[in-house]
């Protein structure tokens, strides 16, 4: 995850109850330091425009990624206008509760200040969101943490080089993206790699040049000795060649074509190669699905864990579950502990090397960075990965969503979602919503 530089801007007017405001300032500083140790913050409340402007000038060269703007007391729109003028980053508006409600003086009037800030930011067309509550409250800390993580992910997307290996297979046009579209919306750059050239490079490697990759395959995948040695060898060759290009070009995510080219031109399946890349942090989608790779990248950056790329292949209304499956490129660490990740052959072409396992159980979040009628959008669904055995040849996970599975499938198809999704362990719905907010794309939460 990218190193984040937030700034905390606590604003107030001395005509309000400064003892309460200062107390909130101190408590807020403590929480922000815990959540974002590199955050910038002033030494005291910013109680007039000169103080605010002087502080904004101090931090102008510090590459601020997100501003937490707290109306510690009520302040009018002139404060927010100065922030808009001098900072180009997204804003999280934070209002605190009245310290006392007893029929006496209104001490802070923070919430009204939040309305003033929101109105100003909206008028200027700036990206912002809102959180209400005191520093120690769970929902406040969860929102702050989610936004800090999301801002870091968005920063990473702007620096992302995504390697596209070959073209999408016939009829899989949903996985293709135009470079300029991605640059415009999220900042990611596409690096196109010719699949046939990679295959030729792999064929030409000498025996000693891919021994490291071969040893890695044998170490991490159970039962690999049952697969034809030639096809294991070809995976090691292809991984070695692709890894060289990944490192040379600074690629952080991969969308790779597989069928039919690899089967026809290389007489092997490269599922295991993509599996190991995902395991080590270079998330890799199948069928050259660029949006799928971006979905995986976002989830990996938030959780630090390898995500799973799969098709929704089965709906069970009685169990309220959806099975996500793919040919066999899941990261090895996602396998059930009682089976582990076993070597296999592609279920359709009967060529190695692929993976065979059912995924482990646990809390999961399913997402898809996709395209709708109004541009890019983000699918979000939380649920439970069930303690179920492998459902089909390849890799699979059965997910019971928090909502109604049949209704979700019906809605997703009617709304035109792509047939590839990314599943990651952990509930990261708030972080994903924050990512979408910061990217200014639609959120569809199920």
Assess whether pLDDT exceeds 90 at residue 418: yes
Percent of the chain with pLDDT over 70: 100
Q: Where are the beta strands (DSSP E) in 301-374?
A: 308-316, 321-326, 342-344, 354-358, 362-372
Q: For residue range 149-200, list pLDDT tens digits in order.
A: 999 999 999 999 999 999 999 899 899 988 889 999 999 999 999 999 999 9
**Per-residue pLDDT, 170:** 87
Q: For residue range 192-219, list pLDDT tens digits in order.
A: 999 999 999 999 999 899 999 999 999 9
Helix (H) or strand (E) run with residue 165 in it: strand 161-165
Assess whether pLDDT exceeds 80 at residue 49: yes
Q: What's 318's DSSP letter? A: T
Q: Across residues 380-386, what is the average pLDDT?
A: 98
In this prediction, residue 321 has a pLDDT band, given cuts at 50, 70 and 90, of very high
Give Dmax (Cα) for the chain: 84
List, in order, residues 6 or more apart from 210 with CB less than 8 Å away.
Answer: 233, 236, 237, 239, 240
Cα distance between residue 91 and residue 70, in whole Å: 10
Cα distance between residue 153 and residue 149, in whole Å: 6
90, 66 Cβ separation under 8 angstroms? yes
Rg (CA), the chain: 25
**Per-residue pLDDT, 179:** 82
Burial string for 278-300 (b: 16+ CB within 10 Å, else e) reads: bbeebbbbbbbbbbbbbbbbbbb
Cα distance between residue 90 and residue 128, in whole Å: 6
What domains appear along the chain, each with residue ranges and CATH number? 6-158 (3.40.50.10940), 161-445 (3.20.14)
Q: For residue range 100-114, list pLDDT tens digits in order.
A: 999 999 999 999 999
Q: How far apart are the two ends of the chain, measured CA to CA in Å?
A: 27
In this prediction, residue 416 has a pLDDT band, given cuts at 50, 70 and 90, of very high
Assess whether pLDDT exceeds 80 at residue 1: no
List, in order, residues 6 or more apart from 394 with CB less than 8 Å away.
Answer: 325, 326, 327, 328, 344, 347, 354, 355, 356
131, 97 Cβ separation under 8 angstroms? no
Alpha-carbon distances, residue 185 vs 254, 344, 348, 372, 378 (angstroms): 19, 39, 37, 14, 13
| Alpha helices, DSSP H, located in 105-227 | 110-123, 138-158, 179-185, 195-204, 211-220
Residue 306's φ and ψ, nearest 5 degrees, are -70, 130
Residue 107's φ and ψ, nearest 5 degrees, are -80, -35
Q: What would the 3-class secondary structure string for 380-438 be?
A: EEEEEECCCCCCCCCEEEEEEECCCHHHHHHHHHHCCCCCCEEEEECCCHHHHHHHHHH
Assess whether pLDDT exceeds 90 at residue 137: yes
């Amino acid at each position: 995850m990218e190193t984040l530089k937030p700034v905390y801007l606590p604003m107030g007017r001395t005509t309000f109850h400064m003892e309460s405001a200062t107390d909130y300032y101190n408590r807020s500083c403590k929480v922000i330091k815990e959540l974002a140790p590199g955050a910038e913050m002033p030494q005291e409340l910013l109680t007039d425009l000169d103080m605010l402007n002087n502080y904004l000038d101090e931090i102008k060269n510090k590459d601020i990624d997100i501003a937490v703007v707290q109306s510690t007391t009520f302040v009018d729109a002139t404060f927010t206008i100065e922030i808009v003028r001098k900072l180009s980053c997204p804003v999280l508006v934070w209002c605190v509760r009245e310290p006392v409600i007893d029929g006496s003086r209104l001490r802070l009037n923070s919430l009204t200040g939040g309305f003033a800030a929101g109105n100003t930011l909206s008028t200027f067309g700036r990206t912002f969101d809102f959180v209400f509550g005191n520093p120690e409250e769970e929902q406040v800390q969860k929102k702050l943490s989610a936004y800090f993580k999301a801002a870091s992910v968005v920063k990473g997307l702007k620096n992302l080089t995504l390697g596209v290996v070959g073209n999408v297979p016939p009829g899989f046009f949903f996985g293709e993206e135009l470079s300029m579209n991605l640059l415009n919306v999220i900042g990611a750059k596409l690096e196109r790699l010719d699949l046939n050239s990679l295959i030729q490079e792999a064929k030409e490697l000498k025996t000693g040049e891919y021994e490291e990759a071969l040893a890695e395959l044998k170490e991490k995948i159970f039962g690999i000795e049952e697969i034809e040695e030639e096809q294991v060898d070809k995976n090691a060759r292809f991984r070695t060649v692709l890894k060289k290009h990944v490192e040379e070009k600074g690629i952080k995510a991969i969308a790779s074509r597989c069928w039919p080219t690899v089967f026809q031109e290389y007489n092997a399946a490269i599922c295991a190669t993509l599996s190991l890349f995902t395991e080590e942090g270079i998330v890799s989608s199948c069928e050259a699905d660029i949006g799928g790779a971006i979905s995986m990248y976002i989830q990996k950056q938030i959780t630090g864990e390898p995500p799973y790329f799969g098709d929704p292949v089965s709906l069970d209304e009685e169990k309220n579950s959806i099975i996500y499956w793919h040919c066999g490129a899941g990261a090895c660490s996602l396998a059930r502990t009682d089976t582990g990740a076993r070597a296999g052959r592609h279920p359709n072409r009967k060529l190695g090397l692929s993976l065979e396992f059912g995924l482990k159980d646990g809390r999961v979040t399913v997402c898809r960075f996709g395209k709708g009628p109004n541009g890019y959008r983000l699918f979000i669904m939380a649920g439970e990965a069930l303690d179920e055995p492998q459902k089909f040849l390849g890799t699979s996970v059965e997910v019971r969503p928090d909502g109604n599975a049949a209704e979700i499938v019906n809605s997703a198809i009617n709304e035109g979602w792509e047939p590839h999704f990314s599943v990651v362990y952990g509930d990261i719905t708030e972080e994903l919503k924050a990512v979408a907010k910061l990217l200014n794309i639609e959120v569809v939460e199920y």
